[in-house]
Structure 1
Amino acid sequence: MQNYFQSIKLFFKRFLIVLFVYQICRFLFYFFNRNAFESISAKGFLGGIHFDLSAIAYINLLFVVLHLIPGNFKYRPNYQKGLKIAFYVVNIIFILTNFVDFEYYKFTGRRSTFGMITATGMENEIGGLIFSFLMEFWYIPLLAILLAFAFWKAIPNLKNTIETSSSTLQLLKQSGLFIVLLAFVFLLGRGGIQKKPIRIVDAVNYGSINQSAIVLNTPFCILKTIGKKETLESPKFFSESELNEIFNPITQTKTSGEPNKKNVVILILESFGRENTQRGQTPFLDSLIEKSLFFENGFANGKLSIDAVPSTLSSIPSLMNNSLITSSYAINEVYALPKILKDNGYQTSFFHGAFNGSQNFDQYCKVAGFDAYYGKDEYEGPEAFDGRWGIFDEEFLQYFSGKMTQFKQPFFTTLFTISSHNPYIIPEKHKGKFPKGTTKIHESIAYSDFALQRFFETASKQDWYKNTLFVVVADHTSAEPTEDKYKTNVGKFRIPILFFDPSNPEMVGKNMKNLQQIDVMPSVLDYLNIDTKMISYGKSYQSEKDFVVYYLDNIYHYVSGDFYMAFDGKKSLGLYNFKDDELLKTNLLKTDKAQADEMERFIKAYIQSFNERLIGNKLTIQ
Structure 2
Amino acid sequence: MKNLRGQELFALIYRLFLVFFFYQMARLLFWLFNKDLIKVDRLSEYFNLSYYGTAFDTTAILYVNAVFILLSIIPLVINTKNGYQKFLFYWYFITNGIAYSLNFGDMIYYRFSQARLTSAAIEVGKHENNLGGIFWNAVLQHPFVVVWFIVVLFLWIFLYKKVKINDEKPKNVIVYFISSIISLCVVTTLVVGGIRGDFKHSTRPINLVDANKHVSNPLQANIVLNSVFSFFRTIGTNNFKLVHFVDEKFIDQEIKPYKLYNREVGSKPNVVIFIMESFGKEYSGAFNKQNNIKDFVSYTPFLDSLGNQSLIFINAFANGRQSIHGMSSVLAGIPSLTDAFTSSPYSNQKIQSIVSVCNDLGYDTSFYHGAPNGSMGFQGFGNILGFKHYFGKTEYNNDNDFDGIWAIWDEPFFQYFAKNMGKKQPFMSTLFSASSHDPFKIPEKYNGKFKKGTLQIHEPIQYTDHSLKKFFETASKQPWYHNTIFVITADHTNQINYPEYQKAMNRFAIPLLFFSPNPKYNLKGVDDRFAQQIDIYPTLADLLGYNKKIRSWGRSLLSDKNEDYMIVNSDAINEQMIIGNYIYIFNGKEVTGIYDKSDLALSKNILSKNLNPKQKLGIEKTKAWYQDYMDRVINRKLR
Q: TM-score if structure 2 supplies the norm length? A: 0.60
Cα distance in 1, alignment partners of residues 200 and 572 from structure 2: 24
Pair 1:284 & 2:302 matched: yes
Tell me what 2:319 maps to: 301
- CA separation of 1:238 and 1:295: change in aligned 2, threshold 3 A: same
1:57-456 residue pairs with structure 2 within 5 A?
A: 126-127=200-201, 227-255=235-263, 257-278=264-285, 279-321=297-339, 323-380=340-397, 383-405=400-422, 407-456=423-472
Cα distance in 2, alignment partners of residues 527 and 392 from structure 1: 32
The gaps in structure 2 that reach 5 residues or longer are 1-191, 205-231, 286-296
Tell me what 1:593 maps to: 612
* 3-state SS of paired residue (2:628): helix
**Contact in 2 for aligned 1:129/1:388 (Cα 8 Å):** no
**Contact in 1 for aligned 2:357/2:546 (Cα 8 Å):** no
Percent of paired sites with the same residue: 39
Tell me what 2:5 maps to: none
Tell me what 1:513 maps to: 529
Cα distance in 2, alignment partners of residues 334 and 418 from structure 1: 26
Tell me what 1:77 maps to: none
Cα distance in 2, alignment partners of residues 339 and 447 from structure 1: 33
Amino acid at match of 1:454: K
* 3-state SS of paired residue (1:498): strand
Cα distance in 1, alignment partners of residues 571 and 335 from structure 2: 11
Query: Which range moves more in the overlay, 430-439 or 502-511?
Result: 502-511
Tell me what 1:478 maps to: 494
Cα distance in 2, alignment partners of residues 565 and 494 from structure 1: 17
- CA separation of 1:349 and 1:420: change in aligned 2, threshold 3 A: same
Amino acid at match of 2:271: V
Q: Deviations over 1:302-341 (max 9, x none)?
A: 01101000111111112241x3222211111112111211
Cα distance in 1, alignment partners of residues 453 and 337 from structure 2: 33
- CA separation of 1:373 and 1:394: change in aligned 2, threshold 3 A: same
* 3-state SS of paired residue (1:378): helix
Tell me what 1:501 maps to: 516
Cα distance in 1, alignment partners of residues 621 and 582 from structure 2: 13
* 3-state SS of paired residue (1:463): coil
Cα distance in 1, alignment partners of residues 237 and 605 from structure 2: 35
* 3-state SS of paired residue (1:261): coil
Give, in angstroms, the shift of residue 554 of structure 1. 2.4
Give, in angstroms, the shift of residue 587 of structure 1. 2.4
- CA separation of 1:124 and 1:253: change in aligned 2, threshold 3 A: farther
* 3-state SS of paired residue (1:495): strand
Amino acid at match of 2:493: T
Cα distance in 2, alignment partners of residues 393 and 548 from structure 1: 31
- CA separation of 1:528 and 1:226: change in aligned 2, threshold 3 A: closer
- CA separation of 1:253 and 1:434: change in aligned 2, threshold 3 A: same
* 3-state SS of paired residue (2:547): coil
Give, in angstroms, the shift of residue 273 of structure 1. 0.6
Pair 1:584 & 2:602 matched: yes
Q: Deviations over 1:183-221 (max 9, x none)?
A: xxxxxxxxxxxxxxxxxxxxxxxxxxxxxxxxxxxxxxx
Give, in angstroms, the shift of residue 125 of structure 1. 7.7
Tell me what 1:30 maps to: none
Cα distance in 2, alignment partners of residues 122 and 565 from structure 1: 36
Cα distance in 2, alignment partners of residues 574 and 120 from structure 1: 43
Tell me what 2:3 maps to: none
Give, in angstroms, the shift of residue 233 of structure 1. 1.2
Query: Which range moves more in the overlay, 540-549 or 225-234?
Result: 225-234
Give, in angstroms, the shift of residue 586 of structure 1. 2.7
Amino acid at match of 2:466: F
Cα distance in 1, alignment partners of residues 612 and 196 from structure 2: 45
Give, in angstroms, the shift of residue 492 of structure 1. 0.7
**Contact in 2 for aligned 1:549/1:556 (Cα 8 Å):** yes
Pair 1:492 & 2:507 matched: yes
Q: Deviations over 1:42-79 (max 9, x none)?
A: xxxxxxxxxxxxxxxxxxxxxxxxxxxxxxxxxxxxxx
Cα distance in 2, alignment partners of residues 470 and 125 from structure 1: 37
**Contact in 1 for aligned 2:319/2:534 (Cα 8 Å):** yes
**Contact in 1 for aligned 2:333/2:534 (Cα 8 Å):** yes
Cα distance in 2, alignment partners of residues 472 and 120 from structure 1: 37
Of 513, 516, 523, the residue aligned with 2:539 is 523
* 3-state SS of paired residue (2:538): helix
Q: Deviations over 1:428-453 (max 9, x none)?
A: 11111111111111111111000011
Tell me what 2:157 maps to: none
Please, what is the CA RMSD of the aligned residues? 2.5
Cα distance in 2, alignment partners of residues 258 and 311 from structure 1: 25
* 3-state SS of paired residue (1:351): strand
**Contact in 1 for aligned 2:234/2:343 (Cα 8 Å):** no
Cα distance in 1, alignment partners of residues 630 and 378 from structure 2: 23
Cα distance in 1, alignment partners of residues 343 and 628 from structure 2: 21
* Greater relative contact order, per chain length (Cα 8 Å cut-off, separation 6+): 1
Cα distance in 1, alignment partners of residues 564 and 400 from structure 2: 47
* 3-state SS of paired residue (2:275): strand
* 3-state SS of paired residue (1:377): helix
Amino acid at match of 2:594: L
- CA separation of 1:259 and 1:602: change in aligned 2, threshold 3 A: farther
Amino acid at match of 2:279: F
1:461-476 residue pairs with structure 2 within 5 A?
A: 461-476=477-492
**Contact in 2 for aligned 1:304/1:476 (Cα 8 Å):** yes
Tell me what 2:151 maps to: none
**Contact in 2 for aligned 1:124/1:357 (Cα 8 Å):** no
Cα distance in 1, alignment partners of residues 484 and 302 from structure 2: 19
Aligned length: 407
* 3-state SS of paired residue (1:418): coil
Q: Deviations over 1:335-386 (max 9, x none)?
A: 2111211111110000011111112111111110110111111114582100
Q: TM-score if structure 1 supplies the norm length? A: 0.62
Give, in angstroms, the shift of residue 534 of structure 1. 1.8
**Contact in 2 for aligned 1:231/1:328 (Cα 8 Å):** no
Give, in angstroms, the shift of residue 239 of structure 1. 2.1
Cα distance in 2, alignment partners of residues 534 and 258 from structure 1: 17
* 3-state SS of paired residue (2:302): helix
* 3-state SS of paired residue (1:297): strand
Cα distance in 1, alignment partners of residues 199 and 309 from structure 2: 37
Give, in angstroms, the shift of residue 560 of structure 1. 2.4
Q: Deviations over 1:94-137 (max 9, x none)?
A: xxxxxxxxxxxxxxxxxxxxxxxx8999856843889xxxxxxx
Amino acid at match of 1:605: A
**Contact in 2 for aligned 1:121/1:360 (Cα 8 Å):** no
Tell me what 1:549 maps to: 568
